[in-house]
Amino acid sequence: MSNYIREENNRCLQCKKPLCELGCPVNTEIKKVIALLKENKINEAGKILFDNNPLSVITGLVCPHDEFCEGHCVLNNKGNPIQFGAIEHYVSDYYLNNLSFETEINPDKKVAIIGSGPAGLTLAIILAKKGYDITIFEAHEKIGGVLRYGIPDFRLPKTILDRYHDLLISMGVKIRPNTLIGPVISLDNLFRDGYKSVFVATGTWKPRKLDIKGESLGNVYYAIDYLRSPETHNIGEKVCIIGGGNVALDSARSALRSGAKEVTVFYRRSEEEMPSSKHEIEYARFDGVKFEFNKSPKEIRDNCVYFIDTKNIEKEDGSKKIEMINGTESCYEADSTIISISQGPKSNIVDSTKGIKLNKLGLVLIDSSGKTSREGVFASGDVVTGAKTVVEAVSAAKVVAETIDNYIKEKYRI
């Protein structure tokens, strides 16, 4: 065990009422995990983490701990909370190396999982442990969804996802890569072929556009597309990033690692209002990313982006709206522009099937247990909520896993 992990572990006060656990979306037993590690019972600690959160080795790296467990740690009063993310990853990485399952698959309990991002992986592991015959349909060539194709390798090594692939295969899970459900295989086909339920976890892969002049130029990219393969994009030396979320910052940091000399993130509100993790902003600055706040894009040209200054206006109800300040237009010279202002779901599934209701944003509507408006079809993750954190996707998938298990037991008596 590294000295850093041991020191962090030993700093824990073992609070009677651990606020860190209350701040965790999956209610990780942090106090118990740390206590076991102090007793050198790393496998027991790892089992608690994995059983509660099958993706704990991943969330230990990419979870915004400063907002959840670490943000609620009582030691924040002294300025230095326990860095549980590092502990979680260390323990989970060790445990995953020694993890094996002997599952007895029941071929009558077939479940189709569409998408292998955080929600899909979580549900697959939970139900496979219960003996379900799982098939994952993945549109890309490898599993992981946004974990593989939306988070840069320097934040989440792809080798971790490869280990999950091997784990799933060892559990009897079948994986069909390069298979887009909708155009050829429909939900009706899945039910025809014996699947007792279908879980939709396709994420949000449709970029939201700015709808301004110049957006179709050859040096303009959408962040969700850029992050799939940064090395294939010729972005030049000076790059403009438009957006304020973690995807925008991942794009900025990736651009610097891909040869760009100057990368600037433009956000239409103040720094305090940026939706990205504060830690990620700090890391971006460490990497050399520059920031410009209260700037809204008006037009993109071949060699520059025109912005206008903005200010927040407080409305009578206490909410704020953005107002453009006339006469403040300025040009930022850039070789390329990367747009990162959120994503939505693609419509390939709902276009080819009936009975699945969506909200006005195109997200799948579900009840509190994960049921969609069509019987036997369930959903969770970003396709339901829009882009959220990995740990929130895990939390929702755990609920749906229980729902599907109960549904199949009650309906099919198996």
pLDDT digits (tens, 9 = 90+) for 72-131: 999 998 889 999 999 999 999 999 998 988 889 999 999 999 999 999 999 999 999 999
Give the model's pLDDT for residue 316: 75
Residue 116's φ and ψ, nearest 5 degrees, are -120, 35
Nearest one of 155, 58, 66 to 393, comparing CA atoms? 58
Cα 109 to Cα 130: distance, rounded to the nearest angstrom: 10
Give the model's pLDDT for residue 313: 87
CB atoms within 10 A of CB 187: 24
- The full set of domains in the chain, from first to last, is 3-97 (1.10.1060.10), 106-205+349-412 (3.50.50.60), 209-340 (3.50.50.60)
What is the per-residue pLDDT across 158-179, written as a single tens digit (0 to 9) for each?
999 999 999 999 999 999 999 9
**What's the pLDDT band for 384 if we cut at 50, 70, 90?**
very high
**What's the pLDDT band for 378 if we cut at 50, 70, 90?**
very high
What is the per-residue pLDDT across 300-341, written as a single tens digit (0 to 9) for each?
999 999 999 999 888 777 778 899 999 999 999 999 999 999
Give the model's pLDDT for residue 353: 86
Q: In sequence order, what E strands does 115-261 have? A: 132-137, 174-176, 197-200, 206-207, 220-222, 238-242
Given a contact cutoff of 8 angstroms between Cβ atoms, the answer to whether 110 and 133 are in contact is yes
Q: Judge whether residue 358 has pLDDT over 70.
A: yes
Q: In sequence order, what E strands does 153-303 have? A: 174-176, 197-200, 206-207, 220-222, 238-242, 262-267, 290-293, 295-300
Mean pLDDT in residue range 137-165: 97
Q: Judge whether residue 1 has pLDDT over 80.
A: no
Nearest one of 180, 331, 343 to 246, comparing CA atoms? 343
What is the per-residue pLDDT across 219-252, written as a single tens digit (0 to 9) for each?
999 999 999 999 999 999 999 999 999 999 999 9
Nearest one of 124, 152, 116, 185 to 383, comparing CA atoms? 116
Which residue type sits at 167? L
Nearest 5 degrees, angle CA 382-CA 219-CA 209?
35
**What percentage of residues in the chain have a pLDDT greater than 90?**
91
Give the model's pLDDT for residue 265: 98
Q: Mean pLDDT over all residues of the chain? A: 96
What is the per-residue pLDDT across 113-128, written as a single tens digit (0 to 9) for each?
999 999 999 999 999 9
Mean pLDDT in residue range 371-396: 97
Nearest one of 125, 127, 51 to 95, comparing CA atoms? 51
Give the model's pLDDT for residue 314: 81
**What's the pLDDT band for 350 if we cut at 50, 70, 90?**
confident
Please give the C-alpha separations between residue 317 and each of 242, 311, 320, in angstroms, as whole numbers: 29, 18, 9
